[in-house]
Amino acid sequence: MKDNPSRPLYLVPYYLWIVLFVIAPIALVFYFSFLDLTGAFSLENYKNFFSSVYLRMTLSSFWYAFVITLITVIIAYPTAYWLTKTKHKQLWLLLIIIPSWINLLLKAYAFIGIFGLYGPANKLLQTLGTGPWQILFTDFSFIFVAVYIFIPFMVLPIFNSLDKINPALIDASRDLGASAFTTFRRVIFPLAINGVKSGIQAVFIPALSLFVITRLIAGNKVITLGTAIEQQFLVTQNWGMGSTIAVFLILFMIIIMMVTGQKEKGGSDNGKTK
Amino acid sequence: MAKLSKSAKIYLILVFAVLYAPIFYLIFYSFNSGGTMASFEGFTWEHYGAVFNDTRLLIILMNTVIIALLSSLFSTAIGVLGAIGIVFLRNRKTRNTVLSLNTILIVSPDVIIGASFLILFTLIGVKLGFASVLISHIAFSIPIVVIMVLPKLQEMSTSLIDAATDLGASKRDILTRVIIPYIKPGIFAGFFLALTYSLDDFAVTFFVTGNGFSTLSIEIYSMARAGITLTINALSALIFVVTLGLVLGYYFFNQRTGQSPGTGGAKL
């Protein structure tokens, strides 16, 4: 690196990476979305996407993602809140995060056993008096496992933003006569909203594109945008249609990022680990 | 600080129980001499024996580790250089553009990364298998390394570099003697994350692996689709222990170097 400082040689691999693996793949997906099965240029895929089949699939994908995200927030918020109040909170947080490091496939596999016809979930139900149920391959098992998998990703950003709140603000609110609920509604919640937003970002988009859990746990009954893309690419071999769905998934992703986006002032950046 | 109420404690215990139940459930049945995950018949090591006697599985395990090590080495090298380049970009606009390009692969769903890489490899003629999997893992790990290294670089005072220059250090010396030692914790964090991301990845690999080459995730997926075998349980118990070791090791390493933990990041 002795030459021209404005164009350092050591940056070549990195820029090459950007061009080859960031820009080119996106461009290719857009390009392929305009190709039909024979490889000719057409708008057929887009026309198909707006047919009732794909629209219904998109809607149901959104509905599942919405339900999954909502339940995850409801479970993760109190968890994060009380975690900030424990002793050794960093260690407890780490213990919440560790399951997220375990391979997704293994967790899904565990649930095949747990929810199976002779698994512990059904045994519990039987001792409670209601006979064995088909739990696996239902909406319930799908949503349960998805929520299970996303909880750490929701707890982490909420924990980080709650943890940053200056306790003096809460004391002040209590001293001024606010009830615990009012303090939460008027002080804690607004200050930690960015963590919730990052959590939603970290859960909603992956929930739209899940395909492992749908295949293993939902038994192909639930089709998300991710499942559809995988199907088109690897089973039907219709790369054009797969790309079109991918284009829409990218669009939805951008919209979600904009909606949950944070202003670059003050207490931002307390969400996804950076 | 207010103490936790009883209900709060019960709630947290419940959450922890649910989070760990599936993992311990898997490990528990890995010692079951019966063939199912439904009833425990007796204690046995046979499934662990099965893991170590299965040459195919061992080869796949080796593939997985080799891919993880190689991809994290390459991505760390490229990512560190990239991060250094970004920090020295004078033009704010260019820097922001590069940074947003950098983030794209982190926020994109794996399905899209996988599908678009599949198109790319097919078009430029990379044979699907070891090479395509390795290249993909390098590609999706680079932005993570950059993001782990950047904060360290940004907190480094430029006067350090000025001082080195004044003292007559060459550019290479500045890089190897000043910058790299200073950002070492960031480099380690990046390497570690790249390693775990590679070990963990299923979706991207699934798209670009073709026939004949397989990593652990892919193998577990096809085994799980075929039904329950306790070999997977034994395997997952081993993976759990290794993962736990890595994460705790990383945590205490970070504690020692005075950083906050919790650098997991959402990735599915």
Q: What is the pLDDT of residues A250-265, one digit of tens each?
A: 999 999 988 887 654 4
List the 192-221 stretch of B: residues with Cβ below 8 A of A.
196, 199-200, 202-203, 206-207, 216-217, 220-221
pLDDT of the residue at A263: 56
Q: Collapsing DSSP states into helix, strand and coil, what is residue B98?
A: helix
pLDDT of the residue at A159: 94
Quick check: A25 and B260 CB within 8 A?
Answer: no
pLDDT in tens, B136-190: 999 999 999 999 999 988 888 778 888 888 888 887 888 888 888 889 989 998 9
Asked if residue A153 is part of any domain, the answer here is yes
- Distance to chain B for A150, nearest Cα, Å: 9
Helix (H) or strand (E) holding B201: none
Beta strand segments in chain B, E: none
Which among B98, B147, B260 is the nearest to A90, CB-wise?
B260
Which among A22, A32, A273 is the nearest to B101, CB-wise?
A22
Q: Does the CB of A250 have a partner CB in chain B at under 8 Å?
A: yes
Inter-axis angle of helices B6-29 and A104-115, to 10 degrees?
A: 90
Quick check: A14 and B79 CB within 8 A?
Answer: yes
pLDDT of the residue at A2: 41
pLDDT exceeding 90 applies to what percent of chain B?
38
Asked if residue A266 is part of any domain, the answer here is no
Which among A18, A28, A212 is the nearest to B119, CB-wise?
A28
List the 176-195 stretch of B: residues with Cβ below 8 A of A.
none
Predicted ipTM of the assembly: 0.85
Q: Does the CB of A248 have a partner CB in chain B at under 8 Å?
A: no
Q: Does the CB of B117 have a partner CB in chain A at under 8 Å?
A: yes
Q: CA B229 → CA A106, A108, B26, distances in Å?
A: 12, 14, 11
pLDDT exceeding 70 applies to what percent of chain B?
94
pLDDT of the residue at B74: 96
Asked if residue B67 is part of any domain, the answer here is yes
Asked if residue A135 is part of any domain, the answer here is yes
Q: What angle do CA B80, A271, B188 make, to 5 degrees?
A: 25
Asked if residue A273 is part of any domain, the answer here is no
Q: Is the Cβ–Cβ distance between B82 and B95 less than 8 Å?
A: no
Asked if residue B145 is part of any domain, the answer here is yes
What CATH number should be reported for the domain holding residue A225? 1.10.3720.10
Quick check: B262 and A160 CB within 8 A?
Answer: yes
pLDDT of the residue at B264: 41
pLDDT in tens, A183-199: 888 888 888 899 999 99
List the 7-36 stretch of B: residues with Cβ below 8 A of A.
8, 11-12, 15-16, 18-23, 25-26, 29, 36
* Domain span at A135: 19-34+41-260
pLDDT of the residue at B141: 96
Asked if residue A197 is part of any domain, the answer here is yes
In this predicted model, which residue has the larger pLDDT, A274 or A251? Answer: A251
Number of domains in chain A: 1
Q: Is the Cβ–Cβ distance between B207 and A233 less than 8 Å?
A: yes
Chain B environment of A147 (Cβ under 8 Å): none
pLDDT of the residue at A91: 85
Residues of chain B with pLDDT under 70: 1-3, 256-268
A179 forms beta bridges with none
Chain B environment of A149 (Cβ under 8 Å): 268
pLDDT band (50, 70, 90) for residue A270: very low
Number of domains in chain B: 1
Tell me how far apart the alpha carbons of residues A197 and A201 are, in angstroms, rounded to a whole number. 6
pLDDT of the residue at B10: 93
Quick check: A8 and B236 CB within 8 A?
Answer: no
Asked if residue B43 is part of any domain, the answer here is no
Chain B environment of A26 (Cβ under 8 Å): 104, 116
Q: Does the CB of A23 have a partner CB in chain B at under 8 Å?
A: yes
What CATH number should be reported for the domain holding residue B142? 1.10.3720.10
Q: For chain A, give the mean pLDDT.
A: 86
List the 45-74 stretch of B: residues with Cβ below 8 A of A.
none
Asked if residue B40 is part of any domain, the answer here is no
pLDDT of the residue at B256: 67
Which among B22, B147, B171 is the nearest to A107, CB-wise?
B22
Q: Does the CB of B116 have a partner CB in chain A at under 8 Å?
A: yes
- Distance to chain B for A51, nearest Cα, Å: 22
Tell me how far apart the alpha carbons of residues A180 and B90 are, in angstroms, rounded to a whole number. 49
Is the pLDDT confidence value at A3 over 50? no
Asked if residue A160 is part of any domain, the answer here is yes
Asked if residue B121 is part of any domain, the answer here is yes
N-to-C CA span, chain A: 30
pLDDT in tens, A206-247: 999 888 888 888 877 788 899 999 999 999 999 999 999 999
Asked if residue B237 is part of any domain, the answer here is no
Please count the other Cβ atoms lying within 10 Å of the Cβ belonging to residue B3. Answer: 10
Asked if residue A71 is part of any domain, the answer here is yes
* Domain span at B160: 55-218
Q: Does the CB of B261 have a partner CB in chain A at under 8 Å?
A: yes
Rounded to an integer, the average pLDDT of A167-185 is: 86
Q: Cα-flanking dihedrals φ and ψ of residue B32, to 5°?
A: -85, 130
| Closest residue on chain A to B204 (Cα) | A230
pLDDT of the residue at A186: 87
Chain A environment of B153 (Cβ under 8 Å): none
Spell out the SS3 assignment of chain A: CCCCCCCCHHHHHHHHHHHHHHHHHHHHHHHHCCECCCCCECCHHHHHHCCHHHHHHHHHHHHHHHHHHHHHHHHHHHHHHHHCCCCCHHHHHHHHHHHHHCCHHHHHHHHHHHHCCCCHHHHHHHHCCCCCCCCCCCHHHHHHHHHHHHHHHHHHHHHHHHHHCCHHHHHHHHHCCCCHHHHHHHHHHHHHHHHHHHHHHHHHHHHHHCCHHHHHCCCCCCCCHHHHHHHHHHHCCCHHHHHHHHHHHHHHHHHHHHHCCCCCCCCCCCCCCC
pLDDT of the residue at B211: 84
Quick check: B85 and A11 CB within 8 A?
Answer: yes
Asked if residue A269 is part of any domain, the answer here is no
Whether this prediction's pTM lies above 0.80 is answered by yes
